[in-house]
């Protein structure tokens, strides 16, 4: 055991992100916008061919999002240089493929069932996706994951808390995978604010092959502004920044998120309310005779196994109540995914289900 630990430590100390980066990306000369060349303040701007009218929206936003990154980094206790902001987490996911994966040669690993965008990005980028199933109880099998890795594996995606199973993945298993493999491990923490478990951001500085995804879409209630956060070592952030479109985050989004960050108590209050409603909703759903099981949740939704779930789904849809049918997803046969709404919304759902025959 001691010899294996020493071997792992030597491997991790030699980890070099440039070995994984596509050669054309390493040699890329990124586009330099007007705001890259002059990021400071001036009284007259005549460098970017902007319309001089309709201030302030006539001006291009900061392509490096410096001010917002500083605020987020302070909130998350991270280095701003280790933060990438994208148009939702999906942009960060897609850029990881474009920077690290050679089409037609490399592969990535997903642990299923999980968020479907990982597979979509793999298909779009012509990258093989290797699927490893969770155990029947939705727990993570680290040996199965590491056993699927080969020399062409570039990314492993681990969603925790997981969508659609709603559970947090075991922290020791996550760290075991990270400390064993020589590829990037992406831990998607979109729902971490609703979890009893802490995320992996505190260990990021010491893990060269770790990427952590977070978002403003869930706990912050800002799905409409589309802002995702990707935390990683600064070398990888530099490659992602070089490949992204120059002005990928709008001025409207930057301003709206900065405004929300000034009132973190609102987010904390919403999370508290959602957690209370989650507990109440789970209790009342559990009393319904056609509900077989409600899986433990660390997210803002419940995975519920039902008798004839597709019939229940159609019944609710006909009454204007939309949930997500996950019955065709591996390990989720007979399951509906139900987002925790307001007390009123949850009440309407329960009223409809109580009338279901």
pLDDT value for 149? 98
pLDDT value for 150? 98
Query: The tokens 């759903």 sit on which residue?
Result: 285
Query: The tokens 């070099």 sit on which residue?
Result: 16
Q: At what angle do helices 343-354 and 309-318 cross, to 10 degrees?
A: 120
Q: Is the CB of residue 25 less than 8 Å from the CB of residue 101?
A: no
CA distances, 331 to each of 138, 162, 191, 315, 335 (Å)? 8, 13, 20, 23, 9
Q: CB 14: neighbour CB atoms within 10 A?
A: 10
Instruction: At 230, give phi and psi (nearest 5°).
Output: -125, 120
Q: Enumerate residues 6+ apart whose C-beta is below 8 A from 165.
A: 113, 134, 138, 295, 303, 331, 332
Selection from 201, 146, 213 nearest residue 178 by Cα: 146
Block means of pLDDT (10 residues each) for the chain, 357 residues, are 49 79 95 86 91 95 97 97 98 98 98 98 98 98 98 98 98 98 98 94 98 98 98 98 97 98 96 98 98 98 98 98 97 98 98 94
pLDDT value for 7? 47
Residue 266, CA atoms < 13 Å, CB-side half-sphere: 10
Query: What b/e sequence results for 23-37 when a residue is b if at least 16 CB atoms lie within 10 Å of its CB, and e otherwise?
Result: eebeeeeeeebbbee
Q: Is the CB of residue 293 less than 8 Å from the CB of residue 307?
A: no
pLDDT value for 357? 72
Q: Enumerate residues 6+ apart whose C-beta is below 8 A from 277.
A: 340, 341, 342, 343, 346
How many Å is the Cα radius of gyration of the chain?
Answer: 22
User: Which domains, and CATH codes, for the chain?
Assistant: 2-30+61-261 (3.40.640.10), 265-354 (3.90.1150.10)
What is the C-alpha separation between 92 and 160, in angstroms, rounded? 17
CA dihedral 312, 316, 317, 321 (to 10 degrees): -140
What is the C-alpha separation between 152 and 108, in angstroms, rounded? 8
Q: At what angle do helices 264-285 and 251-261 cross, to 10 degrees?
A: 80
């Amino acid at each position: 055991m001691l010899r294996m630990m020493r071997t792992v430590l030597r491997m991790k100390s030699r980890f070099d992100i440039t070995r994984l980066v596509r050669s054309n990306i390493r040699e890329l000369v990124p586009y330099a916008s007007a705001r890259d060349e002059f990021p400071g303040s001036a009284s007259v701007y005549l460098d970017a061919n902007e319309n001089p009218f309709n201030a302030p929206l006539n001006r291009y936003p900061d392509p490096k999002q410096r001010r917002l990154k500083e605020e987020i980094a302070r909130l998350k206790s991270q280095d701003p240089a280790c933060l990438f902001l994208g148009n939702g987490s999906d942009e960060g996911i897609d850029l990881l493929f474009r920077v690290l994966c050679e089409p037609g040669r490399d592969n990535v690993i997903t642990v299923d069932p999980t968020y479907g965008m990982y597979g979509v990005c793999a298909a779009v980028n012509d990258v093989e996706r290797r699927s490893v199933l969770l155990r029947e109880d939705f727990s993570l099998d680290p040996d199965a994951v590491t056993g699927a890795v080969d020399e062409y594996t570039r990314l492993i995606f681990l969603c925790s808390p997981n969508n659609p199973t709603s559970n947090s993945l075991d922290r020791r298993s996550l760290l075991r995978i990270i400390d064993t493999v020589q590829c990037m491990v992406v831990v998607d923490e979109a729902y971490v604010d609703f979890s009893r478990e802490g995320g992996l951001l505190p260990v990021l500085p010491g893990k060269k092959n770790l990427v952590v995804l977070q978002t403003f879409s869930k706990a912050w209630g800002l799905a409409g502004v589309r802002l995702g956060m990707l935390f990683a070592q600064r070398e990888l952030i530099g490659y992602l920044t070089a490949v992204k479109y120059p002005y990928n985050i709008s001025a409207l989004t930057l301003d709206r998120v900065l405004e929300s960050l000034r009132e973190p108590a609102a987010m904390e209050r919403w999370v508290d309310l959602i957690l209370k409603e989650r507990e109440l909703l789970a209790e009342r759903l559990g009393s319904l005779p056609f509900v077989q099981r409600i899986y433990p949740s660390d997210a803002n939704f419940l995975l519920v196994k039902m008798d004839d779930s597709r019939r229940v789904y159609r019944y609710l849809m006909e009454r204007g109540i939309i949930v997500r049918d996950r019955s065709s997803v591996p390990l989720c046969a007979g399951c509906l995914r139900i987002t925790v709404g307001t007390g009123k919304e949850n009440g309407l759902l329960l009223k409809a289900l109580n009338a279901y025959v």
